[in-house]
Amino acid sequence: MTSSTETVSTQDIIDYATRLGDDAIVIGHRLSEWVSKAPFIEEDVAIGNVSLDFLGHARMYYTYAAEVSNKQNGTDDVTEDTFAYLRDERQFQNHLLHELHKGDFAYTTARQLLVDVYNKYFLEQLEKSNDATLAAIAMKASKESKYHCRRSKDWTLRLGDGTSESHERMQVALNDIWGYTHELFELDELEQRLVDAGVAVDCTTLKADWLKEVTAIIEEATLTVPDQDWAVRGGRQGYHTEHLGHLLTEMQFVHRSFPGAKW
Amino acid sequence: MAEYNKSEAELEAVFQQKIDSEQKIEPKDWMPEAYRKNLIRQMSQHAHSEVIGMQPEGNFITRAPSLRRKTVLLSKVQDEGGHGLYLYSATETLGIARSELIAALQSGEAKYASIFNYPAQTWGDMGAIGWLVDGAAIVNQVSLQRTSYGPYSRGMIRICKEESFHQRQGYVIMMELAKGTPEQKQMAQDSLNRFYWPALMMFGPHDSESAHSAKSMKWKIKRETNDDLRQKFIDQTAPQIAYLGLEHPDKDLVWNEEKGQHDSGEIDWEEFYAVINGNGHSNRQRIQHHVKAHEEGAWVRDAMSAYKQKKSQRKINADTAA
Ligand SMILES: [Fe+2]
Ligand SMILES: [Fe+2]
Ligand SMILES: [Fe+2]
């Protein structure tokens, strides 16, 4: 990452940390929907673990955003929960991939493979951020994401190269999800400013490694990498699929029913 | 002396002597068939309760009102899945497969704790369940740490370590609510009112009515009676309710100085039997949920074994080629 003499705007840091928190909370929430519904109990426990990891990442990003925000505004009442519970659909800036519905176990597996491999490369870069807090969060999250990658790879192989039904379900899932991956590798102005300042990850540079690794796993699983032509974008601008609104409705309902209450 | 030389009666005498002298019975030891059956019934019921118990709390993971509470609740529910797993494995040492146990749960032949047939309606219920339901379970499980069957006893020791965290997280939820806004306090009271009596029912019918008690006590599968365990729970819970500043749901509860314990009101046994017999709000839902997840997972389990088989076949092929 290039270092720069430009000073970084604290609002940019808040926004960037919030986005990363949004990605983590939304996928963590989706995974938690599997608890008591997994194909067998060991998986209820294992998916719960991965979900907890993402919740943990979300809390670290949001807590950081809250700290910077309180410092900037001379307040003390912004917390991790302010970001998770008191923002609406248009304000959430997670990548669309994370919010797509839970789907069947193949859908969850396919999505998770794409997310986990992305995170592995992303966090490796974020560890080098010249923002010390973000670098420290990345360091911690990075260890977990390596385990997530192994797990997702194992499941992709089992399902892709398992029975004809599981193969078919995996291929359908990959085809339905693939178009949401392109925006993972794009920068908007905010991120470009932070890349220039050595704070954010230049995610455009991650695509080649990601594609190579994901392709190798998909092919080993006897599946086919979907065609590259369709692409849906908009998460970072709050332009979401209809899935997110329902997720937030459920997640925020109790919190919002009791304004100002502590839990 | 070799066991095959002994008559059934001699074997039984040796077995009972072991139990009387507080030695554990291990999977390879001789045991009466009725002991084995009784254990399978009780241990599998316990395992099923852990697993079915994931549903009412799982129902609120996606609605937990703060990220901290969401994390704690998810960890707790996950622990219950782990408890289910230990208990299924411990039951399997008696020569029965997990798949058979699950089939018995789904057909209704095996039971699970009836408390999970009560619906979880509010966030306060997450507090009441952790505090009272896990609290009652702990009283029972602490006693079962001394149960005569080795694998069950060791399972209970392991599980009890995690259970105290479960009860604490529930009580913490209640404390936050009780000292919160008037609406929150009302929520806590409502949950306490709905879960207190069902929690007392978790200990089962009065000793005089309990079908399995006498034999279970002689074999030390159970170590304390339903009523004794229930009394412990009543006594430990009363000051906890007072500390929260909530009203006690049992209007007849009074301290009996002479006995050194509380006298309490009578449980509504009609409700107890009605819920056990299928008339709770969630009986059908709980089993249907379990069956649905199990059926929807069938293709995943099939894929796993197909993949495993392919992999070992490939290894054999590679080895023969080499
Ligand atoms: Fe339990
Ligand atoms: Fe448990
Ligand atoms: Fe528990």
pLDDT at site B210: 77
Q: Tens digit of pLDDT for each residue in A14-40?
A: 999 999 999 999 999 999 999 999 999
Q: Which residues, numbered 39 to 68 in chain B, qualify as contacts with chain A under a Cβ-Cβ cut-off of 8 Å?
A: 51, 54-55, 58, 61-68
Q: What is the C-alpha separation between B237 and B196, in angstroms, rounded?
A: 9
Interface check for B99 against chain A (CB to CB < 8 A): the answer is: no
Helix count (H) and strand count (E) of chain A? 10, 0
Q: Which residue of A has its CA nearest to B69?
A: A263
Q: Is A3 on the interface with B (CB under 8 A)?
A: no
Nearest Cα neighbor of B82 from A52, A46, A37 is: A46
Query: What's the B154 CA to ligand 1 centre distance in angstroms?
Result: 16
The neighbour count for residue B314, using CB atoms within 10 Å, is 10
Mean per-residue pLDDT for B185-200? Answer: 98
* Residue spans of chain A under pLDDT 70: 1-6
| Residues with a beta carbon under 5 angstroms from ion ligand 2 | B 50, 80, 83
pLDDT band for position B212 (cuts 50, 70, 90): low
Give the ligand with the smallest distance to the CA of B137: 1
Dump pLDDT digits (tens) for B198-211.
999 999 999 888 77
Contact criterion met (CB < 8 Å) for B303 and A85: no
Measure the CA–CA gap between B205 and B231, rounded to whole angstroms: 13
Distance CA A33, CA A44 (A): 10
Q: How many CB pairs under 8 A join A and B?
A: 137
pLDDT tens by residue, B30-85: 999 999 999 999 999 999 999 999 999 999 999 999 999 999 999 999 999 999 99
**CA–CA gap between residue B114 and residue B52 (Å, rounded):** 10
Query: What is the fold of A9-257?
Result: Ferritin (1.20.1260)
Select from B175, B186, B183 the least CA-distant residue to B130: B175
Report the complex ipTM: 0.96
Task: Pick the ligand that lies closest to the CA of residue B164.
Answer: 3
Of A105, A166, A258, the CB nearest to B184: A258
B320 alpha carbon – ligand 2 mean position (Å): 48
Ligand that lies nearest to the alpha carbon of residue B115, given by its number in the listed order: 1
Q: Which residue in A44, A163, A251 is closest to B63 by CB distance?
A: A251
For the segment B238-264, what is each residue's pLDDT rounded down to a tens digit? 999 999 999 999 999 999 999 999 999
Cα dihedral sign, B99-B100-B106-B111: negative
CB contact under 8 A, A45 and B78: yes
Q: How far is A224 from A226, CA to CA, in rounded Å?
A: 6
Element at B278 (helix H, strand E)? none
CA angle B98, B102, B104 (to 5 degrees): 120
Report d(CA B187, CA A170) in Å as an integer.
44
CA B175 to chain centre: 24
pLDDT digits (tens, 9 = 90+) for A100-131: 999 999 999 999 999 999 999 999 999 999 99
Q: Which of B297, B309, B283 is nearest to B99 (CA)?
A: B297
Confidence class for position B286, pLDDT limits 50, 70, 90: very high
